[in-house]
Amino acid sequence: MDLGNEVQKILSWTSVCGNLALHLIWLIVHLIINVWYSALGIAHVVENTLISSGLLKSYNAINISKVRYLAVVIDSEEARQTSKVLELLRWLASIGVLKKSQTAIIEGLNKSQKATASKIKSQEAIVEGSNHGTLVEHVDLEFVSFADSKPAVAKAANLLFAKHYASTILEKPNFTESDISEALQAVGYGGPEPDLLLVYGPVRCHLGFPAWRIRYTEIVHMGPLKSMKFGSLIKAIHKFTKVHQNYG
């Protein structure tokens, strides 16, 4: 009986030591991960500051001509932060991606957010000119919401049905991607495909941007709108302009 008790005590002690060792390893790994992400956060802050101040010369000259169509998607809740949205537009204008278009921007924001014109106009300061690039000659602004996707698909489906299945033709076609694209274009929901899509929101997705218009789009998640950084915006656009494209 004494030998059995000793063995049981040894096993119990070994189990306790093992659990303590595993807990200690978990704490060490957790600490390493926290230190690593803290270091990355500090590095990003320093990098954003250097880019914004123009000290990193490689980011001062951006070939804006490679960004023919830029899309910015903002989470519906965060889009209510009008001051942040206008600040982002000012940044895009200073880079050279966006032309001075206060009227169109204000009308679009008023329509999509039902904000008062006086509230938005008091914060408008879309500026032209910057060391980061040359403004383009013509800019078209388009405002798209999540609610636009469902009626677009429904109208395109109705058009294809009426054209091919409601007729007396016995042979029914197998729809291709081009057929669907043509139908969407015919009902007024086509539009160009963005070269670059910047997503501002808590999740990594396109947040309802029409899926049929981002087949070859580079998508970059920029984080929440409230924590947006000018340096991160510059970096994302600069990185895209340096990528070699094998299509188009």
User: Per residue in 137-152, is it b (16+ CB within 10 Å) or e — as a string?
Assistant: eeeeeeebeeeebeeb
CATH class of segment(s) 63-242: alpha beta
Distances (CA, A) of 176 to 141, 179, 181, 183: 30, 5, 9, 11
Q: What pLDDT shows up at residue 114?
A: 47
Give residue 185's Cα distance to chain centre. 24
pLDDT of the chain along its 248 residues, tens only? 565 666 676 667 777 787 888 889 999 999 999 999 899 888 888 888 888 888 888 888 788 888 888 889 888 888 888 888 888 888 888 887 765 555 556 565 565 554 333 333 333 333 333 344 433 444 566 777 666 677 888 888 888 888 777 766 666 677 777 788 888 888 888 778 888 999 998 888 888 788 888 888 899 999 999 889 999 999 999 899 887 776 65
Among residues 54, 61, 98, the alpha carbon closest in space to that of 198 is found at 98
pTM equals 0.67
Q: Where exactly are the structural domains of the chain?
A: 1-61, 63-242
